[in-house]
């Protein structure tokens, strides 16, 4: 694996751990983060020795979501919105890659899991959260639609339309037990139990036939696509670009 500006990547046996490593921004998801994650996924997919990818965050939080400072900078430098659209298209590509990977993906969550950070987590197959997790979908409060990466259909399908609709419209924060109730988490544990819990999942996975494991993921992905409410990524990117290009982001959701 290459060295990355925004990630810490470690490989143990057949488990690749990818840790967002910009704690000074609370792991905000910038264009550089997207580039690094896309590169990691590309190389991991091509490595037959890797079976599981664990997505984690350094510091106090998993991720506070998209880097709004970068959005503003891109719009100031290019008022046409083309640069912003390119960034959002990159987010779409990453989400599609996570959604379609034949690796088993696990989200290791703690602290704040907000917006695009929650989107990345929801795209993972398995999700464990520390009992200090706080989740939020603040997009409407920021004056933008929940369109980052085209993750809304997955979010609605995983968490259930009535409750996700409520949380999107109210921008209300919710805790780890609520996330588990909504099936956005498989397990809630004390923070010091995150790694042992992941081990409980990865230990049997690393014993499986690599081919059988990838074919099982391929089948799960295929059935998930047939159950998908909509594949709206290109529309979402165009919509979010249009909205961001015509207004300033609200500072507080």
Asked if residue 235 belongs to a domain, the reply is yes
The answer to whether residue 218 is domain-embedded is no
| 158 part of a folded domain | yes
pLDDT digits (tens, 9 = 90+) for 192-223: 999 999 999 999 999 988 888 989 998 888 87
140 lies in some domain: yes
Residue 219 placed within a domain: no
Q: What pLDDT is recorded for position 233?
A: 53
- DSSP code string of the chain: ----SSEEEEEETTEEEEEE--GGGTT-B-HHHHHHHHHHHHHHHH-TT--EEEEEE-TT-SB--B-HHHHHHHHHH-TTSHHHHHHHHHHHHHHHHHHH-SSEEEEEE-SEEETHHHHHHHTSSEEEEETT-EEE--TGGGTS-S-GGG-HHHHHHHH-HHHHHHHHHH---EEHHHHHHTTS-SEEE-GGGHHHHHHHHHHHHTTS-HHHHHHHHHHHHHHHHHH-S---HHHHHHHHHHHHHTSPPPS--
Non-local CB neighbours of 166 within 8 Å, separated by 6+ positions: 172
What is the average per-residue pLDDT within 223-246? Answer: 56
CATH number for the domain spanning 18: value is 3.90.226.10
**Interior angle at CA 137, CA 44 and CA 184, nearest 5:** 55
CB 44 within 8 A of CB 81: no
- Is 251 inside any structural domain? no
Confidence of residue 240 (pLDDT cuts 50, 70, 90): low
pLDDT at 251 over 50: no
- Residue 247 pLDDT exceeds 70: no
Domain residues for 47?
7-194+226-245
Residue 12 has pLDDT above 60, yes or no: yes
Q: Which residue has the higher pLDDT, 101 or 69?
A: 101
CA distance 30 to 203: 33
Number of domains in the chain: 1
**pLDDT tens-digit map of 139-159:** 888 887 787 888 898 999 999
Mean pLDDT of 183-191: 98
Tens-place pLDDT, residues 35-81: 999 999 999 999 999 999 999 999 999 999 988 888 778 778 878 87
- 213 located within any domain: no
């Amino acid at each position: 694996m290459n060295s990355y500006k925004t990630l810490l990547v470690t490989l143990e046996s057949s488990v690749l751990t990818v840790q967002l490593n910009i704690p000074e921004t609370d792991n905000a998801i910038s264009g550089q983060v997207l580039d690094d994650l896309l590169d990691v996924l590309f190389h991991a997919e091509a490595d037959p020795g890797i079976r599981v990818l664990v997505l984690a965050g350094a510091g106090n939080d998993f991720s506070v979501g998209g880097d709004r400072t970068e959005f503003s900078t891109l719009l100031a430098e290019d008022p046409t919105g083309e640069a912003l659209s390119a960034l959002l298209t990159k987010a779409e590509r990453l989400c599609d890659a996570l959604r379609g990977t034949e690796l088993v993906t696990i989200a290791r969550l703690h602290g704040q899991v907000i917006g695009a950070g929650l989107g990345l987590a929801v795209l993972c197959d398995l999700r464990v959260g520390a009992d200090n997790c706080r989740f939020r979908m603040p997009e409407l409060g920021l004056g933008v639609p929940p369109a980052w990466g085209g993750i809304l259909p997955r979010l609605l399908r995983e968490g259930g339309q009535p409750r996700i609709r409520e949380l999107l419209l109210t921008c209300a924060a919710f805790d780890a037990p609520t996330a588990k109730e909504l099936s956005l988490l498989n397990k809630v544990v004390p923070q010091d139990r995150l790694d042992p819990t992941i081990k409980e999942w990865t230990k049997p996975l690393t014993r499986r036939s690599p081919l059988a494991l990838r074919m099982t993921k391929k089948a799960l992905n295929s059935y998930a696509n047939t159950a998908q409410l909509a594949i709206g990524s290109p529309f979402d990117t165009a919509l979010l670009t249009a909205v961001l290009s015509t207004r300033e982001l609200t500072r507080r959701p």
